[in-house]
A and B are shown apart, each in its own frame.
Chain A
Amino acid sequence: MAWTTPKTWVANEGLTAALFNTHIRDNLLALKSPPRGVKNINEATDYTTTSTSWAYIDTTDVSITITTTGGDVTVFWLCNVKGSTSITVYFDLWIDGTPMGGDSGLVAQDINAGTAGEAIPLIFRTNGLAAGSHQFRIVWRVSSGTATILAGAGTSGADLHPQFSVVETG
């Protein structure tokens, strides 16, 4: 349900069903169910990379496309990452192929080879994203070595499921 900018009511104006439905009912529905997408990730194998340049984690399961109405969009990404040794892992958000972070992305974390690695939370709110269809993807890279995103591969003590969600928050 699309959002309609609420009209300004004037004195003695008649309240019609059409106006009420458009400006009250439909807008309440729009607030309750804004454009959004959620991916709960549970893979047969974990994700790994040795890439020192930005690489998509997964072009299907870590990719969400929504059609926005012109409001800001809040993006959440949560995962656990471990390294082959002590390394740094970087994450960025790309919207329609455009990076939102700087050269080092939005989030960087020093990680090690521990069983469950480190939790990586990435929260980002867009500013001025035009209405329309937009593709949101998380990319990652490493300083060196190998990074592994635990993605539900059933490893004992590390069966962790990342989540990626995108919602227009106004």
Chain B
Amino acid sequence: MVELEVTRDPIDLNEFDSDMRAALGGKYYGASSRKGVVVLHLSDDATPSEVNQARSIFNAAKAAVDPTKPPLSVGLAERADRGRSSIRQLDFNDIQTRINNISNLAEAKTFLIQLTQAVYFLAAAQGFTDQDLDS
């Protein structure tokens, strides 16, 4: 395997993962971060041109990084925690009773919002969406 050391600056590996895989296909295995050093893993049959292409994609991603934005992995972890917290507020053992007990529009809205939040945070944790939820 070809190991290409590209930087000593911290960067989220997801910032360039999809672009690398789209451009290099199976010749791009992924990347690692060791002591803040990012290493690109390419297959042995990667050509010099493809190695340069990988380096270019990485440099472009690095240049586009917003230093004020938390790494994607951190964001996903936070969303997973919030999803678990939302789910814990719902009693699924008695969900039918709770629905049957809804007697007015306000109660229905409260329940719907709670359910939607739980679904949203779980979807975000799974990477299906990267939108922020206001409440």
Contacts and interface: CB of A to CB of B under 8 A. Distances in A.
Interface string B1-17: 10100000010011001
Contacts of A54: 1
Nearest to A140: B32
B10 A51 contact: no
A137 to B, nearest CB: 12
State which size class the interface on B falls in. 20 to 34
B35 interface: yes
Contacts of B14: 50, 84, 146
The 3 closest A-B pairs by CB, nearest first: A51-B30, A53-B29, A50-B30
Contact of A112 (B1, B3, B29, B80): B80
B10 to A, nearest CB: 7
Contacts of A48: 13, 32-33, 73
Contact of B31 (A51, A56, A112): A51
Interface of B: 1, 3, 10, 13-14, 17, 29-36, 39, 41, 43, 72-73, 76-77, 80-81, 125-127
Contact of A58 (B10, B34, B77): B34
B127 A85 contact: yes
B77 A113 contact: yes
Contact of B35 (A58, A84, A115): A58
B68 to A, nearest CB: 19
Contacts of A115: 77, 81
B30 A52 contact: yes
Contact of A84 (B41, B73, B81): B73
A76 to B, nearest CB: 21
Contact of B13 (A43, A50, A58, A86): A50
A150 B32 CA distance: 14
5 contacts: A45-B10, A55-B3, A85-B76, A115-B77, A146-B17
B29 A55 contact: yes
A113 B30 CA distance: 19
Nearest to B73: A84
